[in-house]
C-alpha cells in the first residue's frame, strides 16, 4: 500500500510543469485526445440508451434545424419559417451531411465531436497566447474537455458546437493576427467570425468588442503599432459584419425583412417580455409557460401567413412598449436572467441518458444541489483578480468576453448552461487561473506543515 505522506507532490507538479513547457505539441494532443475520448464515450452510452434514431425528437430545437436544412436544399416545401428563425449556418451543415450520408444524423455528431475537441485545444492556445502560461492554459483546456455542457452539446443536433468552434477559432486568429504581420491571419479571423454569426446571431455586436480589445491589448512602445492593431481589428470587424449582412440582404429580398435570424427578437418577446408581464401582473410564475406559448403562437401564425416584415415590426413594438410601461421591472428581470444563465448547469444529459438519471441526480445532489451553481462564476472572478495584478489588460479582455455573452443571454432562459456556453471560451482560462492559485496555496501549506514536523522531529 502506498503511503500518501511519502509522495512529494511538489516534485510531481514540477515534473508536470516540465512536461507542459518542454513540448509545445504534446499538450494540445493530450487535450484533444481526452476531449474526444470523453465525447465518444458519451455518444456510445447515449446510443445504447436511446438509440441513434431519436436524435431529432428529444426536444423541440433539432427538428427546426432539420426542417430548415431540408428547405434550404430544396428537399421540402416547408421549413421556410424555421430557416428565417434559426439562420443559415447550422442548417447548411445538416443539409450537406445528410446529402452525403442520407437521412441519418449520427455523422453530424461525429463532426461535432471533432470540432468540440478542437475547441478545447483552441482554448489552450488562446490561454498560451494571451497569458504566456502553459500550465494555466493546459488546465483551461482540460476544464473545457471535461465540461458536461460541452460534452452533451457535442452529442446533440444543436448549433452551439459548430458556433463555438468557428467563434473560438476566429478569436484565436484575431489575437494571433494582432501580434504578427500576416494579413491572411486577420482576414481568416474575420471570415470565421462572420460564419459564426451565420450559425448563431449572438455575435452580431461582437465586432464592437474587437475594437475595444485592440485598444487595451498590451503592445511594445513602438510608434504606429497601436494604429496597426486598430486597423487590423477594423478589418476583422468589417468582414465579420459583411458576411452575415449578405444573408440579411437575402432575407430582405425574400421576406422584406433585413435580419440574420429571427430568434433574438422572438426570444425577447416570448421569454424576457413574458416574464416581465407576469411580474407586473403579480401572477404566479407557473402561469409563465402559458403566456410564453401564447406569445409564440401569435408570432408563428403571422409568420406562417407570410407577414414577416409586419410581424417583426409588431414584435419589436411590443418589446419597446413593455420596456416603456415597466422599465424597472424590465431591467430587474433582465439582470436576474443574466445571473441565472451565468450560474446555470447542464441538464441535457438527463435527456440524452435517461437510464442514468439517478446517477446524475446523485452527482447534482452532492455537487451543486440544484439547477444553478455559482462555483465556476466565483472561480472566474477570483481568477480575474489574480491575473489583474500582473496582466490587467489581458484579464480585462478575458472578462469582457464573459460579460458580453452574459449580457447577451439576458433575453432568454430555461435551457441551462447551453445559453451561457460561449463564455467558456475565456471563462475557463480565468477559472484555471484560480484553480492553479488554490493548488499553490494548498501546496505551500502542505510543505510548511511537513517542514514544521521535520524540524520538530529533529529537535533532541
Q: Give dist(CA 95, CA 69) in Å, integer.
A: 5
CB 71 within 8 A of CB 83: yes
> With 50 as the cut, is the pLDDT of residue 92 above it?
yes
More confident residue, 442 or 177: 177
Give the residue from 329, 364, 325 showing the smallest Cα distance to 347: 364
What is the predicted pLDDT for the residue at 287? 79
What is the predicted pLDDT for the residue at 296? 82
CB 95 within 8 A of CB 73: yes
Q: What is the DSSP string of 41-75?
A: HHHHHHHHHT-GGGTTSSSSHHHHHHHHHHHHTTS
What is the predicted pLDDT for the residue at 356? 83
Minimum mean pLDDT among 109-113, 224-228, 251-255: which range? Answer: 224-228
> With 90 as the cut, is the pLDDT of residue 251 above it?
yes
- Residue partners of 241: CB distance under 8 A and separation at least 6: 194, 207
Q: Which residue has the cell 413593455?
A: 322
Q: How confident is the model at residue 2 (pLDDT cuts 50, 70, 90)?
A: very low
What is the predicted pLDDT for the residue at 387? 95
pTM to 2 decimal places: 0.90
CB atoms within 10 A of CB 404: 20
Count how many residues are written for the chain. Answer: 460
CB atoms within 10 A of CB 103: 10
More confident residue, 325 or 371: 325
What percent of the chain shows pLDDT beyond 70?
89
Q: How confident is the model at residue 109 (pLDDT cuts 50, 70, 90)?
A: very high
What is the predicted pLDDT for the residue at 397? 97
Q: How confident is the model at residue 369 (pLDDT cuts 50, 70, 90)?
A: low
Beta bridge partners of 372: 344
What is the predicted pLDDT for the residue at 451? 63
What is the predicted pLDDT for the residue at 453? 61
Q: What tens digit of pLDDT does each residue of 432-454 get?
A: 999 999 988 887 766 666 665 66
- Collapsed DSSP state (helix, strand, coil) of residue 372: strand
More confident residue, 390 or 24: 390
**Average pLDDT in the 29-37 region?**
97
Phi, psi for residue 344 in degrees, rounded to 5: -70, 150
What is the predicted pLDDT for the residue at 364? 72
Averaged pLDDT of the chain: 88
Give the residue from 126, 262, 112 showing the smallest Cα distance to 200: 262
What is the predicted pLDDT for the residue at 116? 98
Question: For residue 153, what is its C-alpha cell?
Answer: 452539446
**Residue ranges covered by each domain of the chain:** 23-458
> With 50 as the cut, is the pLDDT of residue 276 above it?
yes
What is the predicted pLDDT for the residue at 322? 93
Q: How confident is the model at residue 431 (pLDDT cuts 50, 70, 90)?
A: very high
Amino acid at each position: 500500500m502506498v503511503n500518501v505522506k511519502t509522495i512529494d507532490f511538489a516534485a510531481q507538479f514540477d515534473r508536470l510543469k516540465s512536461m507542459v513547457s518542454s513540448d509545445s505539441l504534446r499538450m494540445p494532443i493530450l487535450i484533444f485526445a481526452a476531449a474526444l475520448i470523453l465525447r465518444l464515450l458519451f455518444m456510445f452510452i447515449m446510443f445504447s440508451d436511446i438509440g441513434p434514431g431519436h436524435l431529432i425528437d428529444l426536444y423541440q430545437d433539432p427538428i427546426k434545424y432539420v426542417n430548415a436544412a431540408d428547405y434550404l436544399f430544396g428537399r421540402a416545401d416547408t421549413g421556410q419559417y424555421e430557416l428565417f428563425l434559426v439562420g443559415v449556418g447550422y442548417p447548411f451543415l445538416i443539409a450537406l451531411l445528410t446529402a452525403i450520408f442520407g437521412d441519418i444524423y449520427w455523422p453530424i455528431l461525429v463532426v461535432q465531436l471533432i470540432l468540440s475537441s478542437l475547441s478545447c485545444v483552441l482554448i489552450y492556445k488562446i490561454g498560451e497566447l494571451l497569458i504566456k502560461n502553459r500550465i494555466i492554459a493546459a488546465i483551461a483546456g482540460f476544464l473545457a474537455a471535461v465540461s458536461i455542457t460541452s460534452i452533451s452539446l457535442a452529442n446533440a443536433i444543436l448549433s452551439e458546437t459548430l458556433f463555438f468552434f468557428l467563434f473560438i477559432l476566429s478569436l484565436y486568429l484575431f489575437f494571433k493576427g494582432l501580434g504578427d504581420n500576416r494579413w491572411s491571419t486577420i482576414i481568416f479571423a474575420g471570415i470565421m467570425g462572420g460564419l459564426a454569426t451565420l450559425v448563431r446571431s449572438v455575435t452580431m455586436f461582437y465586432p464592437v468588442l474587437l475594437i475595444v480589445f485592440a485598444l487595451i491589448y498590451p503592445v511594445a512602445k513602438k510608434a504606429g503599432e497601436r494604429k496597426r492593431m486598430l486597423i487590423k481589428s477594423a478589418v476583422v470587424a468589417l468582414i465579420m459584419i459583411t458576411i452575415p449582412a449578405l444573408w440579411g440582404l437575402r432575407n430582405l429580398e425574400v421576406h422584406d425583412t433585413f435580419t440574420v435570424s429571427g430568434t433574438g427578437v422572438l426570444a425577447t418577446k416570448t421569454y424576457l417580455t413574458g416574464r416581465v408581464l407576469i411580474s407586473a401582473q403579480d401572477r404566479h410564475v407557473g402561469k409563465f409557460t402559458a403566456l410564453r406559448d401564447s406569445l409564440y403562437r401569435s408570432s408563428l401564425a403571422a409568420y406562417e401567413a407570410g407577414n414577416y416584415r409586419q410581424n417583426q415590426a409588431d414584435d419589436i413594438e411590443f418589446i419597446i412598449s413593455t420596456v416603456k410601461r415597466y422599465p424597472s421591472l424590465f431591467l430587474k428581470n433582465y439582470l436576474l436572467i443574466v445571473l441565472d444563465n451565468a450560474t446555470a448547469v447542464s441538464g441535457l444529459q438527463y435527456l440524452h441518458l435517461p437510464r442514468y438519471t439517478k446517477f446524475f441526480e446523485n452527482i447534482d445532489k452532492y455537487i451543486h444541489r440544484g439547477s444553478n451553481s455559482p462555483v465556476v462564476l466565483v472561480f472566474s472572478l477570483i481568477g480575474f483578480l489574480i491575473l489583474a495584478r500582473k496582466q490587467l489588460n489581458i484579464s480585462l479582455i478575458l472578462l469582457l468576453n464573459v460579460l458580453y455573452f452574459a449580457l447577451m443571454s439576458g433575453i432568454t432562459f430555461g435551457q441551462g448552461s447551453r445559453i451561457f456556453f460561449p463564455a467558456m471560451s475565456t471563462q475557463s482560462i480565468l477559472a484555471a487561473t484560480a484553480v492553479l492559485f488554490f493548488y499553490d496555496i494548498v501546496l505551500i501549506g502542505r510543505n510548511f506543515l511537513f517542514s514544521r514536523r521535520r524540524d520538530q522531529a529533529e529537535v533532541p
